[in-house]
Amino acid sequence: MRPNLILPTSAMSDPKASQAQMEKIVSLCKRRGFIYQSSEIYGGCGGVWDYGPLGAELKRNLRTAWWNTMTREREDVLGLDASILMNPAIWKASGHVDTFADLMRECSLTNKRVRADHVEPQDGVVMKYSGAKAPNGWRWDRTISALLKNGEHIESFRKRIRALIAQNAGESAGKPEEIELLGEEKIDAVNGSVDFHPETGGMLGEARPFNLMLKTYLGPTATEDDVTYLRPETAQAIFAQFKNVFDSSRVKVPFGIGQIGKAFRNEVTPKNFTFRSREFEQMELEFFIKPDEAVEIISGEVAKWHEGADLSEPQPNWGWELWHRYWVDQRTKFYQGIGLGDVLEYYWQTPADLAHYARACVDILCEFPFGTEELEGIAARGDFDLSAHQTASTKSQEIFDEELKTAAAKLTDEQKESLIQKRLAAEAAKVKGEPMPEAAVRAWFERLFKGSYVPHVIEPSAGLDRMALAVIAKAFSETEKVDEKGKKEVITVLRLHPRVAPIKVGVFPLLKNKPELVAKAREVYALLKKHLNCFYDETASIGRRYARQDEVGTPFGVTIDFETCGEKGPELQDTVTLRHRDSGEQERVKISELLGKLLPLVS
């Protein structure tokens, strides 16, 4: 883990090379069955993607890796699978109804919307028209302002504006080339302006909040009383079910609840393939911890973070800061385990970046062809979420801690007052949010001294679709091969980590017209198929078959040849050639030992 601040940088210095690389990845994903555009035969559906046979396997492997790492291999994390549709009061309590919005600007020429923070600076000359008309009597009596970009010819610009006006006006405007632009004026030259739509060049309106939640209705009447939302995140279901999980599972704080599931956001400008989508899958953990004051009462102190601190095993005296660092470290190790370790960077949010309730947040960043972008966020959220639901629902989210009550009973009045004063000083020093009044602080400590509190939370939140795109982009490589005749061929290899590769092993008879080879290959395929996702292929040359599997990331190939059938001596009978994708190494392995050798390599 690199705890220092590293600001986002471009993954590739050449924008054209970056775009070309991304286009190759998108092409490969469609051609080999990883990712398709949703509803493609009907023109697509913006910001929504379907995963083909190999993409489904890749996502499944990533999902399984996360689930096993975060739940099954731990004693302190439980799983949840909550519904997508929930009572809309949950989203009101969480703040999503009122504040879950992006600032959006609208093109005055076409009414297209764009996120205010997604408008790149542009240079050019502002052109203004008093309106437009057509020979058929159609008129557009409103001012048009648009950007003539540097290097764009004026006639090309006018043609573009006519086409956009015709597109907006519909058939009533007639043919675009017959539209007359009225009252042309050259207003001013601008440099680095963010006031024009990046696609149309039309002047943008004022930034307005645009709620990202997708609204729907529950029940047959579809009135405002029936409104609910497709969940924009999976976390709130965990908070809403916290008490049920706690009461039914015989767990103690600290513990976590993990969930993988679909989420939906009506993104204004979905972009970069599957990176920013309107339908996506989240993998979130809410890890509940004691407030620092409870830790101090029980342990006598709260351990402080320092460089080189041992994060290998959680300790009873850890407060929120060490728990936060611990989960950053754990998530980093997870990404190293799926082949992303050397493309990670970290952005530690500054106090100005943080939400008023957050104590810390780090974004784990990953290099993509289009730049270095967020892969996962890990936030220390305090007790904000559970307290918000406790207030809105009037249902207590407090837990009782006998150990805390026993330890608090041993404190003197002076020690208790010292804890209260420390908290009051912290509240007075707040630079964001309203400080808790003294009466409320004292009431909170009164409950704490009796062993009751609302747990605080550390939240590692990752996107499965982004993770899938990251491992594909990281694994994508091309090499140039020259054959005996001097002909050049570009070979594509997906160097996916064996743990997440969709197909683990390709099984090939050396020749398909030799029944004994085919029969033995089928036997090996049947042996492995019960335990590993395998692919059987007997068409084309063995080199071509290797290349086909290299292109989709298959880490191992098993070839059944004449040695397997004992034609070159009994010592090689019932052995196969095992080929390693990345090194090209080939070794002889007994069929009886093949499964035992492969399983550790792909897990």
pLDDT digits (tens, 9 = 90+) for 243-299: 999 999 989 999 999 999 999 998 877 889 999 999 999 999 999 999 999 999 999
Residue that the structure tokens 């550790």 belong to: 600
Structure tokens at 329: 């470290």
pLDDT interval class at 352 (50, 70, 90): confident
CATH, residue 535? 3.40.50.800
Q: What is the pLDDT of residues 521-538, one digit of tens each?
A: 999 999 999 999 999 999
Q: How far is CA 216 from CA 84, 106, 183, 483, in A?
A: 12, 24, 46, 59
Domain boundary among 439, 468, 497: 468
Domain boundary among 440, 468, 496: 468
The number of distinct structural domains making up the chain is: 4
Q: How far is CA 248 from CA 83, 146, 241, 242, 289, in A?
A: 19, 62, 11, 10, 18
> From CA 454, how far away is CA 300, in angstroms rounded?
20
Q: 264 and 176 in one domain?
A: no
Q: Whole domain around residue 189: which residue ranges?
A: 105-209
Q: How far is CA 24 from CA 31, 291, 477, in A?
A: 10, 49, 10
> From CA 94, how far away is CA 157, in angstroms rounded?
47
Whether the per-residue pLDDT at 224 is higher than 90: the answer is no
DSSP string, 59-105: HHHHHHHHHIIIIIT-SSEEEE---SB--HHHHHHHTHHHH-EEEEE
Check: CB of residue 214 under 8 Å from CB of residue 265: yes
pLDDT score for 13 = 58
H or E element: which one contains 262?
strand 255-264
281 in helix, strand or coil?
strand
Structure tokens at 513: 């017209």
Q: 268 and 331 in one domain?
A: yes
Q: What is the pLDDT of residues 168-219, one digit of tens each?
A: 888 888 899 999 999 999 999 999 999 999 989 999 998 888 778 899 999 8
Q: Rounded to 5 degrees, what angle do the CA atoms 179, 180, 185 make?
A: 135
> From CA 290, how far away is CA 252, in angstroms rounded?
10
pLDDT score for 2 = 32
Within a domain: 88: yes
pLDDT score for 15 = 79
Compute φ and ψ for 360, nearest 5 degrees: -165, 155
325 in helix, strand or coil?
helix
Structure tokens at 409: 């009973």
Within a domain: 3: no
Whether the per-residue pLDDT at 7 is higher than 50: the answer is no
Check: CB of residue 505 under 8 Å from CB of residue 534: yes
Whether the per-residue pLDDT at 14 is higher than 50: the answer is yes
More confident residue, 566 or 498: 498
**Average pLDDT estimate for 440-460:** 97
> From CA 354, how far away is CA 363, in angstroms rounded?
12
**Residue 551's closest CA among 488, 595, 500, 502?**
502
Q: 390 and 319 in one domain?
A: yes
486 in helix, strand or coil?
coil
Percent of the chain with pLDDT over 70: 98
pLDDT score for 395 = 97
- Amino acid at residue number 425: A
End-to-end CA distance of the chain: 23
Check: CB of residue 356 under 8 Å from CB of residue 88: no
> From CA 597, how far away is CA 425, in angstroms rounded?
61
Structure tokens at 297: 């009462």
| b/e sequence 565-584, b meaning 16+ C-beta within 10 Å | beeeeeebeebbbbbebeee
Q: 397 and 439 in one domain?
A: no
pLDDT score for 11 = 40
Q: How far is CA 451 from CA 271, 408, 457, 548, 550, in A?
A: 49, 8, 18, 62, 59
Check: CB of residue 506 under 8 Å from CB of residue 559: no
Beta strands in 95-225 (DSSP E): 101-106, 113-115, 122-129, 131-133, 139-140, 144-149, 180-182, 185-193, 208-211, 214-217
Within a domain: 54: yes
- Amino acid at residue number 412: T
Q: 392 and 287 in one domain?
A: yes
Domain boundary among 209, 227, 243: 209
Q: 396 and 272 in one domain?
A: yes
Within a domain: 4: no
H or E element: which one contains 542?
helix 542-551
CATH, residue 253? 3.30.930.10
**Average pLDDT estimate for 103-127:** 88
The sign of the CA dihedral 312, 314, 317, 320 is positive
334 exposed, middle or buried (CB, 10 Å; 0-12, 13-18, 19+)? Answer: buried
> From CA 524, how far away is CA 517, in angstroms rounded?
11
Within a domain: 1: no
> From CA 115, how far away is CA 208, in angstroms rounded?
10
242 in helix, strand or coil?
helix
Q: 330 and 243 in one domain?
A: yes
How many C-beta neighbours within 10 Å does residue 546 have? 20
Average pLDDT taken over every residue of the chain:
92
Whether the per-residue pLDDT at 317 is higher than 80: the answer is yes
- Amino acid at residue number 482: V
User: Cis peptide leading into 254, omega within 30 of 0?
Assistant: yes
More confident residue, 208 or 589: 589
Q: Rounded to 5 degrees, what angle do the CA atoms 349, 350, 355 make?
A: 75
Q: 455 and 445 in one domain?
A: no
**Residue 555's closest CA among 490, 489, 603, 491?**
603
496 in helix, strand or coil?
coil
Within a domain: 328: yes
295-298 contacts at long range (C-beta below 8 A, 24 or more positions apart): 295/319, 296/419, 297/404, 297/407, 297/408, 297/411, 297/419, 297/448, 297/449, 298/403, 298/404, 298/407
Within a domain: 310: yes
**Average pLDDT estimate for 306-323:** 96
Within a domain: 438: yes
Q: 79 and 220 in one domain?
A: yes
Q: Rounded to 5 degrees, what angle do the CA atoms 500, 373, 491 make?
A: 50
Structure tokens at 250: 């015989």
Residue that the structure tokens 């008879």 belong to: 509
Q: 598 and 531 in one domain?
A: yes
238 in helix, strand or coil?
helix
pLDDT score for 142 = 87
**Average pLDDT estimate for 483-501:** 90
Q: 220 and 290 in one domain?
A: yes
How many C-beta neighbours within 10 Å does residue 187 have? 10
Check: CB of residue 461 under 8 Å from CB of residue 380: no
pLDDT score for 284 = 98
How many C-beta neighbours within 10 Å does residue 433 have? 12
Beta bridge partners of 204: 107
Q: What is the pLDDT of residues 30-44, one digit of tens each?
A: 999 999 999 999 999
Q: 392 and 255 in one domain?
A: yes
